[in-house]
Amino acid sequence: MTNSNSVAEHTNTAQHSKAGTIKAKPDAAHSLRDLFVDELKDIYWAENLLTKAIPKMISNTSNPEMVKGFEKHLAETQNHVKRLEDVFSSLGEKAEAKKCEAMAGITKEAEEIMSETEMGDVRDAGILSAARKVEHYEIATYSTLIAFANKLGENTAAKLLQDNLNEEQQTDNKLYAMCQAM
């Protein structure tokens, strides 16, 4: 009886796994390089969005240190866009953006936080929270892209992506210090 239960459980698990399988789109990535380029399009869109979102954060903070930090990071973000264009170029690809649903959600949440808090320390804390979520998404994305670039032997791309990652990590450290100082 134990054997038949095990077989039944295995069959149910196999059917359940099949039911959760997502069918690939016709233009789905077929290689690591395809996935790498697709993910570059995603972060390119995200960085471009941030060049519009960061000024909103700047105008909604009351903390002069945060304003200065966000202004610096806006300039870095504009440079990240340029570096990503250089990455595309190094791959012989056109710089194209593909909507990043994750970053769209994070920035929407940031706007909600700003609209749900009064200007001052509470809004500043909310903006720091949202900004750290942005940084963590970018850190995860860039570190993964670097691993893909290295695996593909794309050394120029890996170096440019590493430069972006380093700046994102530095920004996150500064944001964390600001959270601690609140």
Q: Which amino acid is at 109?
A: E
Reduce the DSSP state of residue 93 to 3 states and report it: coil
Domains of the chain and any CATH numbers: 29-181 (1.20.1260.10)
Q: Helices in 118-154 by DSSP H: which ranges? A: 121-151
Q: Are the C-beta atoms of residues 48 and 81 closer than 8 Å to each other?
A: yes
Q: Is 29 helix (H, G, I), strand (E, B) or coil?
A: coil
Query: Which segment of 21-30, 40-49, 70-79, 108-117 scores lowest on mean pLDDT?
Result: 21-30
User: Rounded to 5 degrees, what are φ and ψ at 135?
Assistant: -60, -40
pLDDT computed for residue 168 by the predictor: 97
Confidence label for 7 from pLDDT (cuts 50, 70 and 90): very low
CA 164 to the chain's CA centroid: 12
**Cβ neighbours, 10 Å, residue 11:** 10
- pLDDT, tens digit, 9 for 90 and up, residues 58-87: 999 999 999 999 999 999 999 999 999 999
pTM value? 0.86
